[in-house]
Amino acid sequence: MIKSMYKKPTGFTIIELLIVIAVMAILAAIVVVGWNGVSVQSRNTARANELETWKSTFELYKTRFSTYPSQATGSYCLGSSFSTGKCADTSSSTAPTVAASTGLMNELKRVSPTLPSVSTSAVATYAGPYAIIGATDIKLIGTFESNNSCPDDLVVETSVSSGLTLCKYTLTY
Nearest to 117 by CA among 44, 45, 50, 55: 50
| Confidence class for position 120, pLDDT limits 50, 70, 90 | low
| Confidence class for position 86, pLDDT limits 50, 70, 90 | low
Count other C-beta atoms under 10 Å from residue 168's C-beta. Answer: 22
Give exposure, 115-135, as e/b (b: 16+ Cβ within 10 Å): bbebbeeebebbbbbbbbbee
Coil vs helix vs strand at 24: helix
**Residues 77, 98 contacting (CB under 8 angstroms):** yes
Question: In this predicted model, which residue has the larger pLDDT, 139 or 164?
Answer: 139
pLDDT at 121 over 60: no
* Length of the chain, in residues: 173
Over residues 99-127, the mean pLDDT reads 78
pLDDT computed for residue 42 by the predictor: 83
Average pLDDT of the chain to the nearest whole number: 82
Largest CA distance in the chain: 103
pLDDT computed for residue 2 by the predictor: 60
Pairing of the two strands 155-161 and 137-145: unpaired
The whole-angstrom separation of Cα 62 and Cα 151 is: 25
Q: What is the DSSP secondary structure assignment for residue 93, as one 8-state letter?
A: T
By CB neighbour count within 10 A (0-12 exposed, 13-18 middle, 19+ buried), where does 63 fall?
exposed
The pLDDT tens digits of the residues spanning 13-66 come to 899 899 999 999 999 888 877 776 677 888 888 888 889 999 999 999 999 999
Question: In this predicted model, which residue has the larger pLDDT, 3 or 31?
Answer: 31
